[in-house]
Amino acid sequence: MDYQVSTLAQRMDFTDRLAALDNKSWPVFLQNSDAQSWHHFYDQLSESVLLLISGERLIAAGFTVVIDWNGSEQDLPVSIESVLQRGLTLKAQQADGNTLVPIGALVDSSVQGQGLSSLVLQEMKRFARQQGLSHLVVPVRPTFKAKYPLQTIESYTTWRREDGLLFDPWLRVHEKLNAKIISISDQTLSVVGTIEQWQQWTGMHFAESGRYIVPGALSAVEVDVSRNIGCYREPNVWMQHPMTV
């Protein structure tokens, strides 16, 4: 498929189309997460949002953040909000970062299944090189984990197919681009809401306290009726891409 790559800063006329793709790409409950600075992709961080445009149609997008990272597991951001805050701080200081952190690779439903997710990753790596960055690290959201919410993320990331490749398709896309798992996090995103909010977000009924399997959630949602609260903690798998290939 023929396409051009621009940043949102270069094509602000695509803001509404990007917002529409952004909104429909995530479960409603995730749109109410603690990543409260996500909206800054549309202003202060627009220079690192990649748009894949075919004709005048937005077919895919990559949300990335430039941060400074010392290369150690201990210095990885503790959450998606932390990624955003580190990027915003760097920009406010007008300082140079050394690492690109993609935290969203979205493909329009009309062109899914054509390998665009891999192309988005490749474009983000190309962007990192163009910016003179040394590292590309990704907090990967394993897509099939939502089918196995009761398994731990540590166990799930060891699953492999008969051909030896990782079981999860999104992890596998990264692996095929020579990325390696460098860290596993039980929580890089959280969603906390009242019982009523969770019912609105999911269309489910939470009559008693317990752990609930919610469509699109990578782990169980923990509900406490006596406290009128539901909590979701989303795990991620940190993968590092080589910059030389």
Number of domains in the chain: 2
Domain span at residue 195 reads 191-231
Residue 106 main-chain phi, psi, to 5 deg: -115, 140
The pLDDT of residue 167 is above 70 = yes
Residues 204, 212: Cα–Cα separation, whole Å = 10
Same domain for 215 and 129 = no
Same domain for 21 and 99 = yes
pLDDT at 114: 82
Same domain for 205 and 128 = no
pLDDT in tens, 195-228: 999 999 999 999 999 999 999 999 999 999 999 9
CB 28 within 8 A of CB 61: no
pLDDT in tens, 67-99: 999 999 999 999 999 999 999 999 999 999 999
Determine the Cα angle at 38 with ends 36 and 42, to 5°. Answer: 135
Same domain for 93 and 65 = yes
Same domain for 133 and 49 = yes
pLDDT class for 112, splitting at 50, 70, 90?
confident
Please report, for residues 108, 124, 187, 237, the alpha-carbon distance to residue 135 in angstroms, rounded to integers and kept in the order given: 27, 11, 22, 16
Same domain for 205 and 92 = no
Q: pTM higher than 0.75 for the full model? A: yes
Same domain for 147 and 58 = yes
Same domain for 134 and 18 = yes
pLDDT in tens, 12-41: 999 999 999 999 999 999 999 999 999 999
Q: How would you label 94-118 residue by residue, b for 16+ Cβ within 10 Å and e otherwise?
A: eeebbbbbbbbbbbbeebeeeebbe
Same domain for 133 and 97 = yes
Residue 20 covered by a domain: yes
Same domain for 160 and 60 = yes
